[in-house]
Each structure stands twice: as structure tokens, then as C-alpha cells.
Amino acid sequence: MILPCIDLMDGKVVQLVQGRDKVLEGGTLDEMLERFAGFSEIQVIDLDAALGRGNNDALVEYLARRAAIRAGGGVRTPARARRLAERGARKIIIGTAAFTTAGVDHERLARMRDAAGRDRLLVALDSLEGRVVVKGWRESTAFTAEEVIAALEPYCSGFLCTCVDREGMLAGTDLAWFRRLRAATDLEMTAAGGITTLDEVRALLAMRIGVALGMALYRGRLDPAALLELERSCPPG
């Protein structure tokens, strides 16, 4: 599956480099929905909620009413996970709430799973300099994605794996890292971070890894029509 990304900050559609520096703003929500209408799902991330400085709940819910979305950013309580499920999000992405300083937060994840359903939950494994990062990618943990992925499987139906080192830089992604993660789990996996070319998209799909695309779409490096054609030509994994 290929997913275009809508990242929200201060009520606007934005794109950041490594989750820090805003480099562009997109169109209105309706313009984005029209642009991405051919894709089966859209990934929506509330950056303000991820950073703990407010939220864009109304915008996320607006998108959920009009498109098939998977929603993330600041989903740290069972109540919020349940609300997103009730508002129509097909998948709910859990990041910071999945971890403690020592590793996996089994107790909280169990509550999240009970609130929204395991089949709806995805865990975000965001990696910077080899370590999982949390709280809007501002804090680094002491463990790697490879070290915790198996322990997360009972709580979710898949993973969103972001190579933060390459995020938004249009310089290519780390295919070797995604290959290692793919070997570590049979659950659904989506790759993000630096994916820039059709060859990279093709390579990830061949590994049975979905692709979430942001900057390359917004900068015109990847064409939606070409991506949809590629997706149609690839057998389901």
C-alpha cells in the first residue's frame, strides 16, 4: 500500500525536516483530499499533539469523515485511541505511549488495545541514529526498533517505521534498515522517512512493506498518478 501523508500543525498542512524545521505548507484539507483521492488510505499525523502543545482534533475528525485515514500524533491514552476509532479512523498510530524509558510499556499498550482493538492499532517505531525516539522525536531512548519489535506484536496489527535521520531530506531512505525490520516480524509494516524515488518505492513494496510519502509528493519528486500505477502493478503482499 502507498499512503500519502497529511501532517497538521497550527491548523495547517505542513511538511517538516526531521520533525523540526517547517519547510512548506500544503493546500487546504479539501485540496489535499482531492489531490490524494485515488489512494486507498491517507496517513494523518497531528504534530501539535505529538509535541504536547495542543491538537488539531477537529481537522483530524474532518478528514476521517471524508476519507479512509490512519491517524497518529499524541495518541497517549485509551480514551483518545477510542475516540479516534469512534470517529472513523481505520488505523490508530501509537508512538510515545508504547514505551517507557526501559522499553515496552506493556500495561498501557494493553489498555490501548482494549480500548480500540488490536486490529486497529499500529505502533510507531521512529528511529534516529539507531535508537527509537519519542515525544515528537525530541527524546531518544536506549533501545533499537529491532530490540523491541517482537515484544510489541501482541498489542498491534502492524508498525509504522520512520527513518528520522532521512525524514524530509529528499536524499533517499535506509533500505537496509527496513529489510532488517521486515525480517523481524510478519505483521503489516509501513516505511517512512526520506523515500524519494520510484525505485525506492518499488523496492519497499517488493519487501512487503507499505510506503508513506510526504516531502517527495509535496515537492513534486513523485507523481501521484505514477505511484498509483505502480501500486496497481504490484501483487498484494
Known catalytic residue at 48: no
H-state helical runs in 67-105: 78-86
Write down the pLDDT at residue 237.
52
User: How many CB atoms within 10 Å of residue 57?
Assistant: 18
Overall average pLDDT of the 203-210 stretch: 97
What per-residue confidence (pLDDT) applies to 233? Answer: 86
Q: Residue 160 is part of a domain; what is its CATH number?
A: 3.20.20.70
Quote the pTM value.
Answer: 0.94
Give kind and range of the element (H or E) at residue 38: none
57: annotated active-site residue: no
Please count the structural domains in the chain: 1
Checking if the pLDDT of 235 tops 80, the result is no
Give residue 136's pLDDT: 87
Domain that holds residue 91: 2-233
Catalytic residue, from 7, 48, 57, 105: name it. Answer: 7
Residue 43: pLDDT band with limits 50, 70, 90 = very high
- Helical ranges in the chain per DSSP H: 29-35, 47-50, 57-66, 78-86, 106-116, 145-152, 175-184, 198-206, 215-218, 224-233
Mean pLDDT score, 140-161:
97
And the C-alpha cell for 229?
A: 500505477
Choice among 119, 126, 174, 199 that is catalytic: 126
